[in-house]
Amino acid sequence: MAVLESFSIDDGVLSLAEIGRRTGMPKGTLHRVLADMVTVRLLERTESGYRLGGHLFELGMRASVERSLLEVAIPFLEELNARIHETVHLGVLDGTDVVYLTKIGGRRQASAPSRIGGRMPVHCTAIGKTLLAHADRSLRDRVLSGPLPAHTPRTIVLPGTLRTQLDRIAAEGVAYEFEESAPGLVCVAAPVREADTVVAAISIAGASHRFHPESHVASVRAAADGIGATLTRRARMLASPGS
């Protein structure tokens, strides 16, 4: 972080010596840190020094998109939570994980392993299976090539079983989890589409002894569709500011 903060808004390229002066890092340590940052594209090496890398721009764009998604989704999720009184989630895909952007607990909040900003593997959550079912084939193949670690005795660990379930989810537009990420937790999830692209998924989660996910398919679909329609309208308005 010290290296990134050494760049001011007016800096294009900084020399090794200047970065060292601004950070106070020993030269040997600084060499290793800079090499690692170049490897992950946080910095780019030039003939005269270093400049901020393209990955920072990508991360900034992702953060902007996620903020916009949250702004749109929160009212729908709050309404869903107020009506159903169970835990609702919004999640996005990051590699082979789900990242939870928000979580709103119900009066009868389930003991879910999720947390805001936390991660779970895609194969053992309803949101994860929803996103994976609509992901590109290369990612599906990577997940299905395993291993599929068991989080509970009911986690799907057989690639063939997961593949069949993903095909059904893609066709039906809804995914379930039955105690696959945590004992006693069941969920139902639906994809959020901006235009024709799945950008996120939402879920309702509850305790298995009282919550019946099949009874809430219409509710989770309606909320997901509402979020998606609002995102699509907003994107079109931004693309055509004069219309």
Backbone angles phi, psi at 192, to 5 degrees: -105, 120
CATH architecture of 61-239: 2-Layer Sandwich (3.30)
- Please state, in angstroms and rounded to a whole number, the distance separating the CA atoms of residues 92 and 101: 7
In the chain, CATH 1.10.10.10 covers 2-52
**pLDDT for residue 230:** 92
Is this prediction's pTM over 0.85?
no
Q: Which of 187, 175, 174, 170 is nearest to 133 (CA)?
A: 170
What digits encode the pLDDT tens for the residues 112-160?
667 777 889 999 999 999 999 999 999 999 999 989 999 999 999 999 9
CATH topology for the 2-52 domain: Arc Repressor Mutant, subunit A (1.10.10)
- Please state, in angstroms and rounded to a whole number, the distance separating the CA atoms of residues 154 and 195: 35
Per-residue pLDDT for 30 more than 60? Answer: yes
Share of the chain above pLDDT 70, in %: 89
Going by the DSSP 8-state scheme, the letter that residue 116 receives in this structure is T
In the chain, CATH 3.30.450.40 covers 61-239
- Please state, in angstroms and rounded to a whole number, the distance separating the CA atoms of residues 66 and 100: 11
- Please state, in angstroms and rounded to a whole number, the distance separating the CA atoms of residues 74 and 192: 13
Distance of CA 3 to the CA centre of its chain: 27
What digits encode the pLDDT tens for the residues 32-63?
899 888 888 788 888 889 988 766 665 665 65
- Please state, in angstroms and rounded to a whole number, the distance separating the CA atoms of residues 39 and 216: 46
**pLDDT for residue 2:** 82
- Please state, in angstroms and rounded to a whole number, the distance separating the CA atoms of residues 200 and 101: 10
Mean pLDDT of the chain: 87
What digits encode the pLDDT tens for the residues 74-116?
999 999 999 999 999 999 988 899 988 889 885 555 556 677 7
**pLDDT for residue 196:** 87
